[in-house]
């Protein structure tokens, strides 16, 4: 009796549900100094990414619910942290 475990890639591609309202309309919180590009602009416009400021720490929220605004931390890890070499 073996349970299949989700791969990290599967978990990253499937948005987590908000712990407050249950919505899966959830965005990654991008921290650091992002390099603006057409890809980032499209992610911001679609609501899949929100900007979270320049301070990066281990216990900060990784996601923000687009429905209720709650920020929460998951075990998936950051999608990306940008601008460390500015």
- Compute the distance between CA of residue 34 and CA of residue 84 in angstroms, rounded to an integer: 9
pLDDT tens string 37-55? 999 999 999 999 999 999 8
Is the whole model's pTM more than 0.75, yes or no?
no
Contact 75, 40 (CB under 8 A): no
Distance of CA 23 to CAs 10, 20, 34, 63, 68, Å?
18, 8, 27, 12, 8
Under-70 pLDDT residues of the chain = 1-14, 76-86
Q: How many Cα atoms occupy the beta-carbon half-sphere of 43 within 13 Å?
A: 18
- Compute the distance between CA of residue 26 and CA of residue 28 in angstroms, rounded to an integer: 7
């Amino acid at each position: 009796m073996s349970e299949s475990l989700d791969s990290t890639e599967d978990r990253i591609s499937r948005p987590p549900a908000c712990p407050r309202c249950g919505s899966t309309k959830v965005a990654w919180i991008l921290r650091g100094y992002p390099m603006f590009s057409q890809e980032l602009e499209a992610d911001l416009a679609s609501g899949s990414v929100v900007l979270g400021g320049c301070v990066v720490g281990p216990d900060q929220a990784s996601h923000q619910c687009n429905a209720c605004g709650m920020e929460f931390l998951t075990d998936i890890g950051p999608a990306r942290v940008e601008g460390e070499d500015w």
